[in-house]
Structure 1
Amino acid sequence: MGKRSSPVPEFDGREFAASQPLAPGVYRMFDADGGLLYVGKARALRNRVGSYFNATPKPTRIMAMLAQVARIETTVTRSEADALLLENQLIKSLQPRYNVMLRDDKSYPFVLLTKEQWPRLAFHRGPRAIPGRYFGPYPSAASVRETLNLMHKLFRLRSCEDSVFRNRSRPCLQYQIGRCSAPCVGLVDERDYADSVRRATLFLEGRSRELGDELGAAMQAASDALEFEQAARLRDLIATIRKLQARQYVDGRSADLDVLGVAMQGAAACVLLLAFRDGRNLGTRAFFPKTNGEDSAAEVLAAFVSQYYAEQPPPAEIVLDGDIPERELIERALSEHAGRRVELRTSVRGERAAHLELVRRNAQLTLATELASSSAQQARALALQELLDLPALPARIECFDISHTMGEATVASCVVFDAQGPVRKQYRRYNIAGIEPGDDYAAMHQALQRRFRSAAEGEPDAVLPDVLLIDGGAGQVAQARDVLTDAGITGVALVGVAKGPERRPGAETLLLADGREVQPGAASPALQLVQQVRDEAHRFAITGHRGKRQKARSSSRLEDIAGIGPRRRAALLKHFGGLQGLKAAPVDELAKVEGINRALAQRLWDSLHGLATDAATGEGGK
């Protein structure tokens, strides 16, 4: 018999709270097993923690949480703003059981103005690693593209990548239609282009009045110098900006604000954000926070404001559709973090009130649409349960697919779906090596072996799917069956998805574990779910394969040349803007790059043009 564990002493929250300082900070509540229950911020730790353990009635969710608390840890911070930032970092990284969490796997889109001799104006999403100014974030990619479309018409800055820009010999179509000044071939001097960059920056910063004054002075100067064509172009530019200004005001003044509305139905919540920058309506974006049992719309909205604006620069004004807990604390913390005044408003009139009502209605409609979609997803899952004769609804579905081009750069993908749909954070790709090129069976076998290795080794935390989909026919399914059998895995419903005649959607044949072949038909909800998962696996595999293939084609040629190490390789690609520019360069230009002498430049040129028989050693043919 095992040892009987000693009883865990009851946690005395009042005593613990009394020992805490009256300082800002973050507190973390844990259960007896060390699981993190909740993370919160406080203006004064003693008062905030103590409020959980006084006699005031608490919501059911809070009472359930407090019944599990075995210990609390606190961290004192320098300010309330630091407490807000730390709280959101911990929520994002540790995902406590009872916190409302903002779920958003996508990075936000920005307008990027690069920092170089001839700056580029472009769409950007992802890490801000490229030197330059980032304007945003914008609520949607469409709003960024709309802004870029306007900016290129107004200021005619280039949008092309450096690899294209460095290798142009004549203007492209963007110049012909008046959306670029063609700096690539010298049709605009550097000073005039710099003026356009400065004016574009003023526009993106919302300094339209200052921009208009500058353009007016430039137009007058051009007119006085009898440069009437330039004066006319500036006149048209001023007129366009004035028209934009005329319709870019909210309640009679240029606005820089976000309007937030929240809708809740049961445990589901939707927060809708409507953004204005310099009075321009940038559109809406919907968020669906994970409520973890929280049923208060105000609490959900407070969590959203704290988490969203801890990562994104807040506007000067945020309009909320209702008051939120600790509004003044959050307002001060956001202001301190932004380095300027940020106002959270709940009582508005005029156009702001109209925008707020619009956001409320759209939040409700968006949530209803999302719930209807969830219901449809559940109906498809129920149909799949019946088709496969599963004991319960499949809570986890995984699908594997193989992608390559004539055996090159083979990649296997694994996508994961749960009851709500795709779980993108758990997607995986497997780079396949050590097999005969084009051997899809061996590729599938290797990918599945790697996926189920932890289960085969008996790891207790190994996660298994309820349904395992294989994009392929009987041969692929046989590979999967062998892997599961060798690993001793049971209870996983194995299904092959074989394409129908002419690869027509809806005509797929499902190969079941008992040997049956089923054709549910295009109208089958079960097949629709299978198609959704299979198509996502196919997309994910192709994306990975193309990336691997492109990387191999753009880097291996340099990596295989003797004397071209990582530092020289980076210098070459940076100098010429990529492999295409490098390949187009003559030997004399190659030799001008730091660290590249004439002999190495000649060897490099020979290798890039197929004239060296051994790129690794640099030995040419005799």
Structure 2
Amino acid sequence: MTHNPLALQIQTLPDNPGVYQYYDKDEKLLYVGKAKNLKKRVSSYFNKVHDNARTNVMVRKIVTIKHIVVLSESDALLLENNMIKNLQPRFNVMLKDDKTYPWICIKKEAFPRIFSTRKMIRDGSEYFGPYTSFKTIYTILDMIKELYPLRTCNYDLTDSNIESGKFKVCLEYHIGNCKGPCEGYESRENYEKHVDMIREILKGNFGTSLKDFKKQMQEYASEMQFEKAQYIKNKMEVLENYQSRSIVANPKLTNVDVFSIVSDEGAAYVNYMQIAHGSVIRSHTLELKKKLDETDEELLELGIVEIMERFELRPKEVIVPFAVDLGEKIKVTVPQLGDKKQILELSVRNAKYYRMEQLKQIQIVDPDRHTNRIMAQMQKDLRLPEEPRHIECFDNSNIQGTNPVSACVVFKDGKASKKDYRHFNIKTVDGPNDFASMEEVVHRRYRRLLDENQPLPQLIIIDGGKGQLSAALKSLELLGLRGKISILGIAKRLEELFYPDDPVPLYLDKKSETLKIIQQLRNEAHRFGITHHRDKRSKGALKTSMESIPGVGEKTMTELIKHFKSVKRLKLASEPEIAAIVGNSRAQKIIAFYQSEKAGS
């Protein structure tokens, strides 16, 4: 079976916001676009003929699709903007360098001004943003103006200039928009205090401001000024939805290169992100096939060198998840928190998504290779002596005192083998005793497999934790199988796996494929056991009804159960409903029987 490489790439794209890039057969960039959902957006290019002839030409040229996953639509918009300017793809509308998204600037000067700007001047001033919503930027600046009146003039307000009386207050002072620092009417200390408050708002810490707005809104509402109250409410909503900082465009990150790594049994994936002028402009993930048991440190160093050569990089600083040796000329930063840590996390996220896509493609194109990789990973994660090609999971946690049953489900090569599932009706245990029941069913299951010379599993999973694991072990010991089959128990919290003679549980990564397969086994065992338990209860109730209702035979009751689905629903049915199926005479007998039964209970 052959697979279209392009269709395969589209099929395995994530449903996340991000930026996609189309390349032709010569690896030339054709187009950069943003998406709220990468998979849906990219798919839309290939499932129709476009009205625009230029778009049709571009689609025919696409050979490779690359993408960068980001956290929000806003980040996708900024990243698209940065990449179009820096990479100038053939089919994109060209953006002028000065047409960029605005920032809010706190100017580095005496009595700092705060204003929006499209140009970033590296003079020590602070920049917040960039902002993709102009509504947000206007709301924030209006709010700042109302809460903390600041100057808008560009006077050089040095102490000597103020003391010499060089400046006079303007109209802004007289209408209450400024407190007149130019004539010394406002102290530098008070002004700086207001700037500090504004800085917190721009960082996203605006609890105090929201409190002030709420108070203001309530005052307007109590005075019946509902339009003004609504105006304040709208501002609060914009603030609450406001994201203070973008990772993909951040003035605190200058020209650095970011490298991260994720790995599994067979390969490592090294992601590279290039930051130029405070913005992400490139992302590339390199796959390295493992030959021996190489460490992540060795593989990351190898990956960085390869990427540096491929893109002809000469970085002064690299951001990495752990220390690597790149020589004396390159500064290696391992961030613990802050902006650099955030951009490293974005790189890790992209490496993980790339790995997931490669694994999905392998699963589609080469299912045997996919299975072999999963089995090798499970063997390593669960510390098993061999690959768990045949796993059996037991569950009797659904027993509640009546009709005790237990379920055994079987997975082969990581997939359910339903023909091998087995139910067990508990025979030797009186009352609800989970431990004794587990001991019985494990003994019966493997006694039979041994007697019939059937293959034994490499792994047994017991749903129920330490107590039930001990019960199962007793049976394996009696059969001489302890130590020949690996066995582990799952506690109620799925992350805890217990091994015989080991008081410390094993915790698996919540996103690991091994844990996902164990979850599937446990859920399937629970479902299979519950279904049998329910069927058995229904059959028991049906049998009781058949034997107890005078003048109503098995055929009649079977017909009624087929219609009403259960004895419980039959009991709730009205006489006319029952009569419509079996006639008035038998309907009266059935109603009379269940009424007397109810009265007796």
Q: TM-score, structure 1 length as denominator?
A: 0.33
Could you say which structure has the larger radius of gyration? 2
Q: TM-score, structure 2 length as denominator?
A: 0.35
